[in-house]
Amino acid sequence: EKPKGGKAAPSAAGTLLSGIASALRGVADGVADSKAWSSIVGADALKTDLQDMWLRSSSLRVLPGASGFAESSASLFDALQKTFDFQIDSVKNQFEHLMSLWRSQCAMVADRSVDANLPVDETNLLEEAIGDVHADLLDGFLHWRKRLQEYGPADVLSRADDGRNLGGIRWVAPPPPALASDGDESLSMQLAEIAAYLLVWGEGGNVRFMPEVIYFITELALSSDTMSLADLYQRQAPGGSESGECALDEATPFKSSLFLSKVIRPIYNAIFEEWYDFVDVDSGNQRDKKKLHADYENYLPPDVANYDDWNELFSDPERLVRGVLLTDGSRLFEQPRGRRFAALARVDWRATLQAANTKTHREVHSLWGVFGST
């Protein structure tokens, strides 16, 4: 089906077959290039799938400017995946998540016109809707970032003053805005912040109960310099590290993406070890069952850190800047802004999140509290 206001997008199958035919001609001529094959198999496959998802499956495809926004958002998600090594399926899920939010917000923008007895103008519907999605979805993140930016030692610049592409990535710019007073940069910034947040949130399921942690990781990703994956995740040379960690060479058959394994998992491991010994299997329902430390079954001891303590750490700019420690004892925020995300692989999360560094009060759990409240 041909989208309204734009040309029909080429099918994924057509793009793939065209690339294969080109590569086969190279084989016949004896000049086949392995890079040509890799580009066919992976380099543009994700972007093509995402763009196809928009232009063939979403009701957004009929709106003015849809083809431009489809290409821009697909290339943005693709660039973020390649830069930070998010899981492919997670990227697709969050792209669909964005389209769902965008579609719902378009309906709400149209409803505002109907309620005001005005005709619905679809010309700028996609642009206005994404601005509303940015304001609503990232309300907490934007307030958190403002507080961090106002704390001088954090050395966090405004997006306008940063002067670099967000996250050090390159992607196709969205259509020229008709509403945003700041021009293309404002619309690109909104899309990039939404996409980065959704991708971090999507892979951060085990730390999603601490929203400030998601904000923290998102901000570091958006402020990152352009780096290779090897530099971004502090990949070890073949032979592994002194701690016995497996070397991150190309031949290692990892099941998880680097973002998940090098950023999210170490945080959750430190949190898990605060309360639990190990994960067992329930003999009755065959589900995972976490084994609490001895004497933790009834109440957590008064000096054990919990989610509230960790949330408070990441909510307080002063404590956050002072409290996130690297394995060499230095502080994360002593690193240059553009290299802080890369330094996440060297954060000592056990030391950073331990109760002695995060708990500001004792929590005594007792039935005597019933009498104390009367």
Concatenated DSSP letters for 305-326?
A: --HHHHHHHHH-HHHHHHH-BB
Is the pLDDT at 65 greater than 90, yes or no?
yes
Say whether 288 sits in a helix, a strand or coil: strand
Is the pLDDT at 178 greater than 90, yes or no?
no
| Residues in CB range of 261: below 8 A, 6 or more apart | 254
Q: Can you give the pLDDT at residue 61?
A: 94
Angle between helices 307-315 and 211-222 (to 10 degrees): 40
Q: Can you give the pLDDT at residue 40?
A: 43
Q: Can you give the pLDDT at residue 325?
A: 96
Contact between residue 221 and residue 201 where contact means Cβ atoms under 8 Å apart: no
Question: Quick one: average pLDDT of 100-110?
Answer: 96
Q: Can you give the pLDDT at residue 277?
A: 82
Task: Please state which of the ranges 64-73, 290-299, 309-318, 326-335 shows the lowest mean pLDDT.
Answer: 290-299
What stretch of H or E contains 275? helix 265-275
Contact between residue 193 and residue 119 where contact means Cβ atoms under 8 Å apart: no
Q: Can you give the pLDDT at residue 221?
A: 95
Share of the chain above pLDDT 90, in %: 51
Q: How far apart are CA 111 and CA 128, in angstroms?
A: 13
Task: Please state which of the ranges 16-20, 51-55, 60-64, 174-178 shows the lowest mean pLDDT.
Answer: 16-20
What does the radius of gyration of the chain's CA atoms come to, in whole angstroms?
Answer: 24
Is the pLDDT at 235 greater than 80, yes or no?
no
Q: Can you give the pLDDT at residue 100?
A: 97
Record the pTM. Answer: 0.81
Say whether 163 sits in a helix, a strand or coil: coil
3-state SS track over 86-147: CCHHHHHHHHHHHHHHHHHHHHHHHHHHHHCCCCCCCCCHHHHHHHHHHHHHCHHHHHHHHH
In terms of Cα–Cα distance, which of 55, 43, 54 is closest to 19? 43
What stretch of H or E contains 290? strand 288-292
Q: How far apart are CA 323 and CA 359, in angstroms?
A: 12
Contact between residue 227 and residue 82 where contact means Cβ atoms under 8 Å apart: no
Q: Tens of pLDDT along 256-299?
A: 799 999 999 999 999 988 888 888 887 888 788 888 788 877 77
Q: Tens of pLDDT along 293-322?
A: 888 777 777 788 888 889 999 999 999 999
Q: Can you give the pLDDT at residue 255?
A: 65
Query: pLDDT class for 36, splitting at 50, 70, 90?
Result: very low
Beta-bridge partner residues of 289: 280
Q: Can you give the pLDDT at residue 164?
A: 54
Question: Quick one: average pLDDT of 184-202?
Answer: 90
Q: Tens of pLDDT along 167-177?
A: 778 889 888 86
Q: Can you give the pLDDT at residue 14?
A: 45
Is the pLDDT at 344 greater than 90, yes or no?
yes
Say whether 158 sits in a helix, a strand or coil: coil
DSSP 190-210: HHHHHHHHHHHHHH-GGGTT-
* Mean of per-residue pLDDT scores for the chain: 81
Task: Please state which of the ranges 123-127, 169-173, 181-185, 344-348 shows the lowest mean pLDDT.
Answer: 181-185
Contact between residue 223 and residue 149 where contact means Cβ atoms under 8 Å apart: no
Segments in 138-264 forming alpha helices (H): 139-150, 159-162, 184-203, 211-222, 229-232, 258-259
Q: Can you give the pLDDT at residue 37?
A: 36
Question: Quick one: average pLDDT of 18-45?
Answer: 44
* Higher per-residue pLDDT: 21 or 57: 57
Question: Quick one: average pLDDT of 93-115?
Answer: 95
Query: pLDDT class for 20, splitting at 50, 70, 90?
Result: very low
* Higher per-residue pLDDT: 138 or 176: 138
* Higher per-residue pLDDT: 162 or 2: 162
